[in-house]
Structure 1
Amino acid sequence: MAGTDVTPFTSNNTPVVQARPPRGNILGTLSLIIPTAIGGAMAVAVAEPLAMVAGAAVGLIAMFSPKIASQWERAVVLKWGRYDGVRGPGVFWVIPGMHTVAAWIDHRTVATSFAAEQTLTMDAVPVNVDAVLFWTVFDAQKAALEVQDYQQAVSWAAQTALRDIIGRTSLSELLAGREKIEQELQALIDRRTNPWGVSVHSVEMRDVVIPASLQDAMSRQAQAAREKQARIILGEAEVEIAKLFEKAAESYQGNPTALQLRQMNILYEGLKQKGGMMVVPSTIVDSMGHAGIMAAAALANQQSAENAKPRSEPDPDVALRIAETNLFPS
């Protein structure tokens, strides 16, 4: 992310204090050299050694006077131990012994990673939650004077707020209502860090880890729920099919020809399967007649021949023999 600092953390979630490079070295060096050179020139001109000593002393004091603050930084300056103001960005001057720079405050957006391990939810389920906090210092004076270490304070405030939110939330709400929890967490952390001059932009929950045994139980529960829903849908389909069959039976009851055509169609669909065998009730054979059975078998064989690959010997007409057996029993 452009313009964003990521705060490094140790294994116990404590921010690492990074050494800040000195500022104003070039100006300080020039401030030492120039007065010393002027003092040396005056000492040579007036033959007075004290002039060179005085010039070196002035240069030594001026060496520590210039400071440089980057564009995103602000320096909190104290005068005789009291707040004197905020300096920067750019070059500013202090008087050594009188002024001290209490803190260098970074005004860029900072991303802080924090976590809550083995925290119990409202329904007593231990979870591990990882999150990222995006925040910015909007008041350098408060960040330097109202809290000892504002970066570490923000980290601990975020972690305790996360534990507080988890303890007031059930597991189902934690897994399903993540956006709502992030908004509540942002408001809670912002309320705690606002007196320190810190504003929270957003909180992003990266991962929620639950015990493996509970994951297995939840998986079985979800599977059982899906199977139950599938059985319900299947039962509803059976009811609808039964109603349609009832209407079809009413139609066939008054139209024997339509029933006979339907029987021939069913017989044809069954016989056209390759290598299939169908046991035909004698009542259907009587109603359709020997010619109807032979016609259905012939159509089925023709369909099978078109769909199948060429063979050296044709398959026996099993359905026709069954029909003849029903017509002419021994």
Structure 2
Amino acid sequence: MDNEVSEERAGYVYNADNSRQNRRGKLLGFWILILLGMAGFYIWNRTGIVAWAIILVLVGILLASTIKIAHEWQRAVVLRLGRFYKVAGPGPFVRIPVIDHITCWIDQRMRTTFFAAEKTLTRDNVPVNVDAVMFWVVWDPEKAALEVGNYQEAVIWAAQTALRDIIGKTELSEMLAGRERLDEELQKMIDDRTEEWGVAVRSVEIRDVVIPKDLQDVMSREAQAERERRARTILAQAEREIADNFLMAASKYEKSDIAFRLRAMNLLYESIKDNGGLVVVPGGYDFEFNALAGLTTYDQLTGMKKKREKEQEKGQKDQLTSEADDKKE
């Protein structure tokens, strides 16, 4: 019973003699046993006294089973006559055979544990599968060894129950949008439950939230409808701003007839300046639009004017020439 460890704790709580962490201690004890055995054989050979050799060999065996070595990240919980004695390590330490019993080895490095909650109902009755990862460390090896049978298994179960509690108190929309808040609440809840076991939870992160496929389709359509609503709202707001600007412009045109006529001329000019066209205008605007037409065909009118001037000059020259010919006759 001195070095027995139950099977349910195998993998996280280690047997002292069968643990890989004690290979160095066993190797050191083995070399001590070899050296003392050689010394006993030498004394027996030199003096012929067998008692000294037997004593040295027994001392070597005792030391070989006494010296243990703990790694830097390990702590050994030692019981003496069934009661807690000390937490040994790191480095070499001595265990008195039969009297001292190393109940377990505690790894004090940061650990990562994956846990999940499947088909758990949210507050609005939506079944979800949630995956999370937890980072934790054993800060008190004495409590981890004495206050709970299997501290790692207890931590995992505490994390799963806390995750289910958080899901049941949260609506789906809050879970999808506020993961950071849920991470903090989940970390605090698990840490409160594991503190008495000597375990500190550093952080908890929700990795994924899986919802049913039919609900995914509904949420996708809802999101699309929301985007369309926003687009139409923005378009209506733009139309309203344009209408407001038109009203402001109309109020100014109402006060100035000249500005209104200039604006009408500009609109017509913009519409026909590239491709040209035939425009029918009501009476009263003929002067302005004739002027605008003159602007749009300025180059053509200028060319026609020059052509008429040339024709008039040519006609005058022909007339002068004909008069000169008549005088000569």
Normalised by the length of structure 2, the TM-score is 0.77
Q: Which amino acid aligns with 1:152?
A: E
Distance 1:213 1:287 in 2: 70
Q: Pick closer, same or farther for the CA change 1:20–1:188 going to 2, 3 Å.
A: farther
Q: What whole-Å deviation, never above 9, does each CA across 1:7-48 have from its counterpart, x for those lacking one?
A: xxxxxxxx9659643241332122211221232223223323
CA offset at residue 194 of structure 1? 0.9
Q: Pick closer, same or farther for the CA change 1:120–1:74 going to 2, 3 Å.
A: same
CA offset at residue 165 of structure 1? 0.7
Following superposition of structure 1 onto structure 2, how do residues 69-88 of structure 1 map, counting pairs within 5 Å? 69-88=70-89
Q: Which amino acid aligns with 1:248?
A: A
Q: What whole-Å deviation, never above 9, does each CA across 1:230-285 have from its counterpart, x for those lacking one?
A: 32333233333323323322322342322222122222333356xx6777452397
Q: What whole-Å deviation, never above 9, does each CA across 1:294-326 have from its counterpart, x for those lacking one?
A: 523669xxxxxxxxxxxxxxxxxxxxxxxxxxx
1:326 is aligned to: none
**Runs of 5+ consecutive residues of structure 2 not aligned to the other structure:** 1-9, 300-329
1:288 aligns with 2:288: yes
CA offset at residue 50 of structure 1? 4.1
Distance 1:287 1:171 in 2: 71
Q: Which amino acid aligns with 2:233?
A: I
Asked if 2 retains the 8 angstrom alpha-carbon contact of 1:131 and 1:206, the reply is yes
Following superposition of structure 1 onto structure 2, how do residues 67-216 of structure 1 map, counting pairs within 5 Å? 67-216=68-217
Q: Pick closer, same or farther for the CA change 1:281–1:236 going to 2, 3 Å.
A: farther
Give the secondary structure class of the aligned counterpart of 2:148.
Answer: coil
CA offset at residue 92 of structure 1? 0.3
Distance 2:217 2:97 in 1: 67
Distance 2:81 2:116 in 1: 41
Q: Which amino acid aligns with 1:21?
A: Q
Following superposition of structure 1 onto structure 2, how do residues 31-70 of structure 1 map, counting pairs within 5 Å? 31-70=32-71
Count of residue pairs the alignment pairs up: 283
Q: Pick closer, same or farther for the CA change 1:219–1:155 going to 2, 3 Å.
A: same
Distance 2:244 2:134 in 1: 60
Distance 1:22 1:145 in 2: 22
Q: Pick closer, same or farther for the CA change 1:295–1:69 going to 2, 3 Å.
A: same
Asked if 2 retains the 8 angstrom alpha-carbon contact of 1:40 and 1:55, the reply is no
Asked if 2 retains the 8 angstrom alpha-carbon contact of 1:116 and 1:162, the reply is yes
Give the secondary structure class of the aligned counterpart of 1:282.
Answer: coil
**Runs of 5+ consecutive residues of structure 1 not aligned to the other structure:** 1-14, 300-330
Q: Pick closer, same or farther for the CA change 1:219–1:100 going to 2, 3 Å.
A: same
Q: Pick closer, same or farther for the CA change 1:287–1:136 going to 2, 3 Å.
A: farther
Normalised by the length of structure 1, the TM-score is 0.77
Asked if 1 retains the 8 angstrom alpha-carbon contact of 2:265 and 2:289, the reply is no
Q: Pick closer, same or farther for the CA change 1:278–1:40 going to 2, 3 Å.
A: farther
Distance 1:277 1:182 in 2: 69
Q: Pick closer, same or farther for the CA change 1:41–1:272 going to 2, 3 Å.
A: farther
Q: What whole-Å deviation, never above 9, does each CA across 1:206-242 have from its counterpart, x for those lacking one?
A: 2222223222222221221222233233323333332
1:311 is aligned to: none
CA offset at residue 60 of structure 1? 1.8
Give the secondary structure class of the aligned counterpart of 1:33.
Answer: helix
Give the secondary structure class of the aligned counterpart of 1:42.
Answer: helix
Distance 1:219 1:278 in 2: 51
Q: Which amino acid aligns with 1:232?
A: T
Distance 2:27 2:50 in 1: 27
Give the secondary structure class of the aligned counterpart of 2:96.
Answer: coil
Q: Pick closer, same or farther for the CA change 1:143–1:287 going to 2, 3 Å.
A: farther
Distance 2:273 2:56 in 1: 115
1:234 is aligned to: 235
Q: Pick closer, same or farther for the CA change 1:296–1:20 going to 2, 3 Å.
A: farther
CA offset at residue 125 of structure 1? 1.1
Distance 1:89 1:145 in 2: 20
Distance 1:27 1:254 in 2: 108
Asked if 2 retains the 8 angstrom alpha-carbon contact of 1:260 and 1:287, the reply is no
Asked if 2 retains the 8 angstrom alpha-carbon contact of 1:161 and 1:185, the reply is yes
Asked if 1 retains the 8 angstrom alpha-carbon contact of 2:155 and 2:194, the reply is yes
Q: Which amino acid aligns with 1:207?
A: D
Asked if 1 retains the 8 angstrom alpha-carbon contact of 2:269 and 2:292, the reply is no
CA offset at residue 176 of structure 1? 1.7
Q: Which amino acid aligns with 1:164?
A: D
Give the secondary structure class of the aligned counterpart of 1:22.
Answer: helix
RMSD over equivalenced CA pairs, Å? 2.6
Q: Pick closer, same or farther for the CA change 1:61–1:259 going to 2, 3 Å.
A: same
Identity across matched positions, percent: 49
Asked if 2 retains the 8 angstrom alpha-carbon contact of 1:271 and 1:297, the reply is no
